[in-house]
A and B are shown apart, each in its own frame.
Chain A
């Protein structure tokens, strides 16, 4: 392209202005990619879950426990293949600067229920065997430098006191939606130490046929209705979605504000680009006198707008993609699997194209239509 040096020379005219313009395009698109990834990550979390897994919680609210005695009842329900349970521990570690979730689980059934929590067989066996053992997500190794066999002490808040666990396993989730920064320890250990036996935070069930989930869930809740703690049963997906929806409203608000900011930045940028084109009336007239066609001049201005928008987009969108990937960002555990999706990159490319049109079209048409004689008279 033999005209490229013309466009590059024009971009170099006000280097600082060009760099600032590119930087603001990059910032706008970086923000765009980040905010949209919050939304897509939450949406993915809300959709995650096997249709074959059901979650039973206390009908009064998730913070209320259920009797452990329900396990047998649930296991005996037709269509139910497996049952496991867990408790939210809510402990703090060290100065608590980095929060992570701890769960008391029934080791064997829980790991069988969640094959996505993958760890070597010998570590799994050690976890099942040893009362005060724990397994941790790969990320906690990166954050705290913990090692296998190390003792780690957590301060309980719901269950007060110092709780020391021996790390016997390190898992890596096979699905990005599963947090890679959890700590799981034995439910029996929790019961033993608190002396409050027989309580589960919630149950997880696996059913044989995902299509039957609605009727099985209804059956369970009906069956338990008259006990001292009624249950509320639904698919794991619905369970996750209820959390995600809560955050979803926040993310919607954030997204709306963010998009307004992005839009404002883009407007300012488009205006800056138009201004720099307006300074060149004389030069456009000179080029036309030399014999440059209206079409070529239109193309040159558009190419310039396209380069600014394009370089900004590569920096902003590419930067977001690489940054979150390379730092393994998950918003302190709130957004596991945080990764800029291809659809976000494509929409970002669309926004870039719109920016190029918004900022380039008016000056390009003006350059193409400029009447040479009038333009020349204006200066002389």
Chain B
């Protein structure tokens, strides 16, 4: 059974008096352990699709299942703890709380668990180690480069060991070198730690890091194999 099953999803937004259809009877399967890049022109609905999977948004009709749970049918009160347990999310920018250190930012998802202080500390150390920022843990976001900020955000997205890691244009604001670091890190998370990853990008080079590349155009998904698969 696929980890993510999207079935017959319609999504429309009301813009003023106009109804804008984004998806019409969309279907998608994401397998456990996969690394999928989601490409498509701006406004094609990439972020919306990611939001639906994360339970941040609801389909107009149809079903979104993640790890056997009907996300599209959960109440907001059920969704928050479900997200804490299953989803790690990274945005293009401004992921971190500016008043918290890198360490404290990474700790946020763990505050929602029953882990003891000691267990939390171990996990944070491990996550910051994976992204290579053990020496930056006392730094505040403004003391970090854009690439380092994104790596802290990735550490936060994996620290609670979620079922699924979702990234919305994680390298969109980064220079080439930082992008490379982030993409290499994502590859490693997928290869070494078996994390299931869905990454939105409009950069073909970034998409090449993924095993599967999906193109979203006019509400339809077209699959192409990733370059490195």
A residues adjacent to B (C-beta < 8 A): 2-3, 5-6, 9-10, 12-13, 282-283, 286-294, 372-373, 376, 379-380
B80 to A288, Cβ gap below 8 A? yes
B94 to A5, Cβ gap below 8 A? no
Give which listed residue, A2, A283, A293, A372, contacts B97 with CB less than 8 A: A283
A380 to B91, Cβ gap below 8 A? yes
Residue pairs across A and B with Cβ atoms less than 8 A apart, 14 shown, are: A2-B111, A286-B91, A286-B94, A287-B97, A289-B54, A291-B80, A291-B85, A291-B87, A292-B84, A292-B108, A293-B80, A294-B77, A373-B56, A380-B93
A290 to B51, Cβ gap below 8 A? no
Q: Which of B99-144 contact A (CB under 8 A)?
A: 99-100, 104, 108-109, 111-112
* Chain A residues within 8 Å of B156, by CB: 290
* Chain B residues within 8 Å of A13, by CB: 98-99
For the complex, give the distance between the alpha carbons of A10 and B111 in Å: 17
* Chain A residues within 8 Å of B81, by CB: 291, 293
* Chain A residues within 8 Å of B99, by CB: 9-10, 12-13
Interface of A is mostly: helix
B100 to A9, Cβ gap below 8 A? yes
Q: Separation in Å of the A210 CB from the closest CB of chain B? A: 66
* Chain B residues within 8 Å of A5, by CB: 104
A291-B81, A373-B56 provided; 16 other pairs, C-beta below 8 A? A5-B104, A9-B99, A9-B100, A12-B99, A13-B98, A282-B94, A289-B54, A289-B83, A289-B87, A289-B91, A290-B112, A292-B84, A372-B56, A376-B91, A379-B94, A380-B92
Q: Separation in Å of the B58 CB from the closest CB of chain A? A: 10
* Chain A residues within 8 Å of B56, by CB: 288-289, 372-373
* Chain B residues within 8 Å of A283, by CB: 97-98
For the complex, give the distance between the alpha carbons of A6 and B76 in Å: 23
Q: Which of B52-109 contact A (CB under 8 A)?
A: 54, 56-57, 76-77, 80-85, 87, 89, 91-100, 104, 108-109
Q: Which residue of B lies closest to A11 (CB)?
A: B99
For the complex, give the distance between the alpha carbons of A13 and B141 in Å: 13
For the complex, give the distance between the alpha carbons of A289 and B112 in Å: 12
* Chain B residues within 8 Å of A290, by CB: 83-84, 89, 108-109, 112, 156
- Determine which residue in A10, A294, A379, A380 has the highest number of CB atoms from chain B within 10 A of its CB, and name it: A380
Given contacts A287-B108, A291-B109, are A6 and B91 in contact (CB under 8 A)?
no
A292 to B91, Cβ gap below 8 A? no
Q: Separation in Å of the A279 CB from the closest CB of chain B? A: 10
Q: Which residue of A lies closest to B78 (CB)?
A: A293
Q: Separation in Å of the B94 CB from the closest CB of chain A? A: 6
Give which listed residue, B51, B80, B104, contacts A292 with CB less than 8 A: B80
Q: Which residue of A lies closest to B86 (CB)?
A: A291
Given contacts A2-B111, A286-B97, A289-B83, are A373 and B89 in contact (CB under 8 A)?
no
Q: Which residue of B lies closest to A280 (CB)?
A: B97
Give which listed residue, A6, A286, A291, A373, contacts B83 with CB less than 8 A: A291
For the complex, give the distance between the alpha carbons of A282 and B91 in Å: 12
Q: Separation in Å of the B50 CB from the closest CB of chain A? A: 10
A286 to B80, Cβ gap below 8 A? no
B109 to A294, Cβ gap below 8 A? no
Q: Separation in Å of the A354 CB from the closest CB of chain B? A: 28
Q: Separation in Å of the A292 CB from the closest CB of chain B? A: 7
Q: Separation in Å of the B80 CB from the closest CB of chain A? A: 4
List the 5 closest pairs (A to B, CB-CB), nearest first.
A291-B84, A9-B99, A293-B80, A291-B83, A289-B89
* Chain B residues within 8 Å of A372, by CB: 56
* Chain A residues within 8 Å of B82, by CB: 291
Q: Which of B20-76 contact A (CB under 8 A)?
A: 51, 54, 56-57, 76
For the complex, give the distance between the alpha carbons of A74 and B51 in Å: 94
Q: Separation in Å of the B7 CB from the closest CB of chain A? A: 21
Q: Separation in Å of the B117 CB from the closest CB of chain A? A: 8
Q: Separation in Å of the B25 CB from the closest CB of chain A? A: 22
* Chain B residues within 8 Å of A2, by CB: 111
Q: Separation in Å of the A274 CB from the closest CB of chain B? A: 18
- Determine which residue in B77, B80, B82, B92 has the highest number of CB atoms from chain A within 10 A of its CB, and name it: B80
A373 to B80, Cβ gap below 8 A? no
Contact flags (1/0) for B160-178 with A, using CB distance below 8 Å?
A: 0000000000000000000
* Chain B residues within 8 Å of A373, by CB: 51, 56-57
For the complex, give the distance between the alpha carbons of A2 and B104 in Å: 11
Q: Which residue of A lies closest to B58 (CB)?
A: A373
Q: Which residue of B lies closest to A13 (CB)?
A: B99
For the complex, give the distance between the alpha carbons of A365 and B226 in Å: 45
Q: Which residue of A lies closest to B112 (CB)?
A: A291
* Chain B residues within 8 Å of A289, by CB: 54, 56, 83, 87, 89, 91
For the complex, give the distance between the alpha carbons of A287 and B156 in Å: 12
Q: Separation in Å of the B76 CB from the closest CB of chain A? A: 7
